[in-house]
Amino acid sequence: MSTLNTKNLSTMAMVAISFYLLPMQTALASHKVYSPTVEQGEIELELRGHTTSDSDPAKDGLGKYKLEAGYGVSEHWFTSVFAEYETAPGVAASQTALSWENIFQLTEPGQYWMDVGAYLEYEHAQETGVNDKLEGKLLLEKTSGAYVNTANIVLAHELGAGASSATEFELAWRTKYLLDPHFEPSIEFYGSYGELGVTPSNAQDHRIGPVVSGRFNTSPHHKLGYELGYLVGISDAAPSGTLKFLLEYEM
């Protein structure tokens, strides 16, 4: 539960300005694994993104980043809006989408063998000739001792005139070790399978790699969090390397 006062508003403004300026200097990214657990009353500002590296110029230097503001409306619902930007070598960052994201916590953490949640996102394209998109995710999490295993099963479908009839399938996985609140190592996997049974394996995009994350208390119930990782491409269509990062401020 947060009470908005002048100090909080000033902090939010500073973080928002920092988040706005940072993407102008670097190409950024957006691979993320979502937990099914939400926190009531939490206000969150987040910047995340990635940039790619590859010997193939078509897959090198591509950046995508997202700037997000969210709020824990209840103990079962977290909602946020975010703007998505993309960059390429020699091309200035441009906004490609504006999205509304919702996470629904469906089970109490630890009550069942696995924690379950749902994610629903409406992505409104900002580019001409690009369709809006609806994305749904099943969020699953299982904690075993100090290991937290999280999986997201993703289905995405275009909307509007000229939309593709295909439903695309993606899978995201993270196994995190609760070593220290300031430094938690994990392994993440992202698989983009395209349309199941249709998209050939050489057109699928799969990446895996180590990620570290952590959170620091900046003042009572105010936290600064980070993620930094490097994903290796393990399929033909994936870039050989992806540097990903996340910076968030919670209050």
75, 127, 163, 183: residue in contact with another protein (rule CB under 8 A):
75
- Residue 113 as a binder of another protein (CB under 8 A): the answer is yes
Residue of 57, 44, 33 lying closest to 227 (CA atoms): 33
Question: Which x/- pattern, by CB under 8 A, does the window 19-38 give for another protein?
Answer: --------------------
In angstroms, the CA 195 to CA 89 distance is 29
Question: Closest distance between another protein and the C-beta of residue 161, in Å?
Answer: 30
Query: Interface residues for another protein in 158-187 (CB under 8 A)?
Result: 169, 171, 178, 181
**By CB under 8 A, residue 140 contacts another protein:** yes
Q: Binding of another protein at residue 234 (CB under 8 A)?
A: yes
Which of 234, 169, 231 lies closest to 202 in space, CA to CA? 234
Give the E-state strand segments of the chain in sequence order: 43-53, 63-74, 77-88, 91-105, 115-125, 132-144, 147-159, 167-177, 184-195, 205-219, 222-233, 241-250
51 neighbors 243 (Cβ within 8 angstroms): yes
Rule CB under 8 A: say whether 155 interacts with another protein.
no
Q: Which of 80, 204, 213, 242 binds another protein (CB under 8 A)?
A: 204
Binding of residue 1 to another protein (CB under 8 A): yes
Beta bridge partners of 199: none
206 is a contact residue toward another protein (CB under 8 A): yes
Per-position b or e across 23-36, b if 16+ CB within 10 A of its CB: beeebbbbbbbbbb
Residue 127 interacts with another protein (CB under 8 A): yes or no: no
161 φ, ψ to 5°?
-65, 135
Binding test (CB under 8 A) with another protein, winner from 25, 145, 161, 162: 145
CB of 80 to another protein, least distance (A): 18
Whole-angstrom Cα distance, residue 245 to residue 112? 32
Residue numbers of the site for another protein (CB under 8 A)? 1, 39-41, 75, 108-114, 116, 138, 140, 142-143, 145, 148, 151, 153, 169, 171, 178, 181, 191, 193, 196, 201, 204, 206, 220-221, 234-235
